[in-house]
């Protein structure tokens, strides 16, 4: 058995065990997740990611460990920005806080499958058609520019094609029925607003993947590093959502920091044949952009509070 096969097995084992414990044991029943619980689980997932990174360094070497860390930070930063969208989606459908964890749980399951598909397709495209790296780079720069100067993001679920398709073929109840996605009413199965919310969350993650996967591919084309760093970030997304949901106003400049990251990695892809940017420099730029955006956000929030 090769070292890489050992790491795949270790990764699959860790994620499977933690997946069962997090989503189907400790959080099996719908309940509102408090700050302390969210902080604990966020610490667990970040700690696991860093411990796994140590394992990558020990088994696969320092270069792969640096790739994993950079990919993880990129994905985590993009995930934090995505939390703004989740808040708007839940607000639009008036989803009770006690029912939000279940939607996020199934959203994570769908994201794990879709990210795997996107990663395989993205790597194959770059390896077979090298010019695709320029397409990905342009997409990232455009997204970063739009994020920085496009104004506040809005959510219009009523315009979502999948929502329209569901409404066309499946009866929808006007109100939620507990935490059920489907109920039987007068002998007919009908979907609840919670299911529509899940459809919007899943379809939104596809859009997120269009940004995040090319961003990580700018760091490495190694499927193991790309997928494992994505999964560790995604698995901690639910707890991170509840950790930051009530203090999002304190991160007003985070979008600008993320837009800088997207523009940087996009430019790195466009210039890949001309300039080789050291991974250490890339990691420094990414951490620097996040740190500055968070610090300026906190300062701005304090000034607003005092005013």
Number of Cβ within a 10 Å radius of residue 97: 14
DSSP labels, 113-151: HHHHHHHHHHHHHHHH-TTHHHHHHHHHHHHHHHHHHS-
pTM of the model: 0.84
Q: What is the pLDDT of residue 69?
A: 94
- Cβ atoms of 177 and 192 within 8 Å: the answer is yes
Q: What is the pLDDT of residue 241?
A: 81
Q: What is the pLDDT of residue 76?
A: 85
- The C-alpha atoms of residue 66 and residue 131 are separated, in whole angstroms, by 26
- The C-alpha atoms of residue 86 and residue 159 are separated, in whole angstroms, by 16
Q: What is the pLDDT of residue 227?
A: 92
Q: What is the pLDDT of residue 307?
A: 57
Mean pLDDT for back-to-back runs of 10 residues, the chain (307 residues)? 90 89 73 80 92 95 94 85 77 83 84 84 82 85 81 66 83 80 82 88 80 84 92 86 71 80 88 83 88 84 67
**Which parts of the chain are beta strand (E)?**
182-185, 188-191
Q: What is the pLDDT of residue 59?
A: 94
Q: What is the pLDDT of residue 72?
A: 93
Burial of 18 (0-12, 13-18, 19+ CB in 10 A): middle
């Amino acid at each position: 058995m090769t070292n890489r096969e050992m790491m795949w097995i270790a990764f699959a084992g860790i994620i499977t065990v933690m997946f069962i414990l997090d989503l189907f044991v400790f959080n099996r029943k719908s309940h509102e997740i408090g700050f302390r619980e969210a902080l604990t689980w966020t610490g667990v997932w970040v700690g696991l990611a860093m411990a796994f990174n140590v394992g990558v360094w020990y088994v696969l070497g320092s270069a792969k460990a640096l790739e994993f860390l950079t990919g993880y930070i990129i994905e985590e930063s993009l995930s934090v920005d995505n939390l703004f969208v989740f808040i708007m989606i839940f607000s639009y459908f008036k989803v009770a806080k006690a029912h939000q964890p279940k939607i996020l749980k199934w959203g994570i399951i769908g994201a794990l499958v879709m990210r795997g598909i996107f990663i395989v397709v993205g790597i194959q495209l770059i390896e077979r058609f090298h010019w695709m790296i320029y397409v990905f780079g342009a997409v990232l720069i455009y997204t970063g520019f739009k994020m920085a100067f496009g104004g506040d993001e809005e959510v219009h679920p009523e315009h979502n094609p999948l929502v329209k398709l569901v409404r066309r073929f499946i009866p929808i109840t006007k109100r939620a029925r507990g935490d059920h996605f489907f109920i039987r009413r007068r002998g007919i199965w009908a979907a609840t607003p919670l299911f529509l919310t899940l459809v919007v969350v899943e379809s939104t993650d596809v859009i997120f993947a269009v940004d995040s996967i090319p961003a990580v591919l700018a760091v490495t084309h190694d499927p193991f590093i790309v997928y494992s760093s994505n999964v560790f970030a995604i698995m901690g997304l639910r707890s991170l959502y509840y950790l930051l949901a009530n203090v999002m106003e304190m991160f007003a400049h985070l979008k600008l920091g993320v837009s800088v990251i997207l523009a940087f990695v996009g430019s790195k892809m466009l210039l890949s044949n001309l300039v080789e940017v050291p991974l250490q420099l890339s990691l420094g730029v990414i951490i620097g952009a996040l740190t500055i955006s968070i610090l300026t956000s906190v300062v701005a929030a304090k000034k607003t509070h005092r005013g």
